[in-house]
Amino acid sequence: MLLVFDVGNTTIGLGLFRGKKLVASWKIKSDREKTSDEYGIAFYNLLGHQKLSCEKIKGAIISSVVPPLTPIIQEACETYFKVRPLVVGPGIKTGIPILYENPAEVGSDRIVAACAAYEKYGGPCLVVDFGTATTFDAISKRGEYLGGAIAPGIQISAEALYLRTARLPRIEVKKPKSAIGRTTVASMQSGLYFGYIGLVKNIIVQMSAELETKPRVIATGGFAELITEEIQEIDSLEPNLLLEGLRLIFEKNRKAETKTS
């Protein structure tokens, strides 16, 4: 079995694959203060809770946008699962040519998502990842990573309103009953929700116009389900897109190792 880790700024997504099948997935909070033992025990317990044997794990792969956590997760894998994980970064085969001016600047999560989207849908396509930040990534008809856009996530926007104003409260991000709010909370929810829909739609329209043909638009990430129901331009919702991408990249590198050995 293969254990995959999508290490983000807010959460760590874990997936366990048996062959190509995702048999279990979890999310835990990203915490830079935790030790490798604390993470290792947490991972071990998650598998044990579903009666999944840790001894059957034969490989692991990590995509991380939080550099301080990368070696901690690596050490947890080596100590508790006895596997040395691959880390998505320079030198890893993804099958996606990166046409960014400086490829090293692209977050590994964006490349992983692009890999999965192109494998499943072909190109051109756009991936919208609703995470701590909302990222928009364009993949060409030939499977090239072209670049994209980065916007503050909807939760960051909500926190900014609370932290940078004297009287506005911290609110739950959710769809309001109407655009015209009759309370401060409802008004904030309206501005965040409908304003964010406008942001996402406009970026999709602008990026689509720059591609050769109309792209397939795929949404993923923690806030994707909340936002996408209002955006007709989004064609597919793929909650496990990054986990699937990690599996694909692991398989590409395992095949490459087999050919050279």
Cβ pair 73, 64 in contact under 8 A: yes
Annotation marks residue 129 as catalytic: no
Among 109, 129, 137, 235, the active-site one is 109
Nearest to 155 by CA among 126, 193, 117: 193
Residue 204 is which amino acid? I
Please provide the DSSP assignment of the chain as one string. -EEEEEE-SSEEEEEEEETTEEEEEEEEE--TT--HHHHHHHHHHHHHHTT--GGG--EEEEEES-GGGHHHHHHHHHHHT----EE-STT---S--B-SSSGGGS-HHHHHHHHHHHHHH-SSEEEEEESSEEEEEEE-TTS-EEEEEEEE-HHHHHHHHHHTSSSPPP------S-SS-SSHHHHHHHHHHHHHHHHHHHHHHHHHHHSSSPPEEEEESTTHHHHHTT-TT--EE-TTHHHHHHHHHHHHHHHHHHHH-
Question: Which residues does the annotation mark as catalytic?
Answer: 109
